[in-house]
Structure 1
Amino acid sequence: MGKAEQIAALRAVAGADDPASSDFDLNPDAVLPPGRTLRPAGVLVAFVERGDGLALVLTKRSSRLKHHPGQIAFPGGKQDEIDADAIDAALREAHEEVGLVPETVEVLGTMPTHETVTGFLMTPVLGLIRGPFNPVPEPGEVDEIFTVPFEHVTDPARYWQQARRWRGTRRHYYTAPFGPYYIWGATARILRGLADRVNP
């Protein structure tokens, strides 16, 4: 798939009306707290041009963070009062975390929301980085910024189901390892959804 076809595929995904996903998709027996309140968040699923194709920008979270240290994640975070919506939150957080200038991002649209086990309702924002991008990791939040080829993240065969014990129960989740990077959890679940939509 050439770059133009990759971009067309992302545009089609952004306009699709698909069901939401959650960290509980692979764990149907999980008991969710009644009356739980989910906190809105926006994450930026941003692709940058690399040679003849696109590549996804991901981060390795700082090992010093209290929550999810060292994990692979999209740039983004919780929606604050200053944000008009999840798109604003994703762009603002990406600017803070990786130095991505919001004006250089062409927002294609959003993917279905994703509920996390930590109580967030994440809105994945699909974007194309159209201007210069010189990654600058925010030292307190990000240890590393890297890219993964479009062909890797959109290939369903790259995703595996694994399991581990979490809070006393066995939890199943997706993984999509790439080189030294162990992509798993909500990030892998959202990307698996992207792969399924690119390859219906």
Structure 2
Amino acid sequence: MPADLIPRLSAALARPGDGSSDFDLNPGTVLPAGRKLRPAGVLVAMDLALGDPRLILTKRSSALKHHPGQIAFPGGKQDDTDADVTATALREAQEEIGLPPDLPRILGTLPTHETVTSFAVTPVVAVLERGFDPVAEPGEVDEVFSVPLAHVLNPANYVVESRIWRGTRRYYFAVPYGPYYIWGATARMLRGLAARMNE
């Protein structure tokens, strides 16, 4: 592990800056009046236990109603019983991938990301200094995997692609790695972290 990784991450998270959204690359998007955003938290967990840092991600179940089969961080909407979005991210990571809630060392958060599905998502950045055995929650997660942190922190690995969504061409970031097509909100949040790390 690079000796300066944790200080660099902490400094990047402390930098001022605006949040991001699914509409960053689609400025002409018209949002419905009175739209209310629901708070959510995701865990951007970096496994340091094996030497070269790796980012933990999930492949969502193909049976899910929303975003089936997509690559995502562990996380979800904030419950009334959650103290804050960090608690949300830790609870969801325990449910989805079996991550003990006392294992992640929380470094901070990125600015919120607004999704097309009306969530205000807070990325909670953490490092894991001890390993764990992931257990995918069968109803929600098809696979738990990791990618090299260096790959997603390199802005040169990001591309802008597009597809037709509800009759309109929408543009989005993607940061593919091997068989994994990381795109949309997950790629946009990672792109924000990469930009901060490279300032």
Given the two structures, how large is their TM-score scaled by the length of structure 1? 0.96
Q: Could you tell me which residue of structure 1 aligns to residue 103 of structure 2? A: 104
Aligned length: 199
The Cα offsets for residues 40-84 of structure 1, whole Å up to 9 and x where unpaired, read as 000000000154321100000001111101000000000000101
Distance 1:52 1:44 in 2: 20
The Cα offsets for residues 148-179 of structure 1, whole Å up to 9 and x where unpaired, read as 11110100011000011111111000000000
Q: Could you tell me which residue of structure 1 aligns to residue 155 of structure 2? A: 156
Q: Could you tell me which residue of structure 2 aligns to residue 43 of structure 1? A: 42
Give unmatched runs, 5+ long, in structure 2.
none
Distance 1:52 1:97 in 2: 24
Q: Could you tell me which residue of structure 2 aligns to residue 63 of structure 1? A: 62
Distance 2:70 2:177 in 1: 13
Give unmatched runs, 5+ long, in structure 1.
none
Q: Secondary structure at the match of 2:151?
A: helix
Superposed structure 1 runs of 4+ greater than 3 Å apart? none
Q: Is the 8 A contact 2:61 2:139 kept in 1?
A: yes
Q: Counterparts in 2 of 1:1-200, with a 5 A limit?
A: 2-49=1-48, 51-200=50-199
Q: Is the 8 A contact 1:41 1:79 kept in 2?
A: yes
Q: Secondary structure at the match of 1:7?
A: helix
Question: Which amino acid counterpart does residue 107 of structure 2 have in structure 1?
Answer: L
Q: Secondary structure at the match of 1:94?
A: helix
Distance 1:101 1:16 in 2: 29
Q: Is the 8 A contact 1:13 1:111 kept in 2?
A: no
Q: Is the 8 A contact 2:40 2:77 kept in 1?
A: yes
Given the two structures, how large is their TM-score scaled by the length of structure 2? 0.97
The Cα offsets for residues 66-123 of structure 1, whole Å up to 9 and x where unpaired, read as 1101000000000000101100000000000000001011110100100001110000
Distance 1:152 1:50 in 2: 18
Q: CA RMSD in A?
A: 1.0
Deviation at 1:132, TM superposition (A): 3.2
Question: Which amino acid counterpart does residue 172 of structure 2 have in structure 1?
Answer: Y
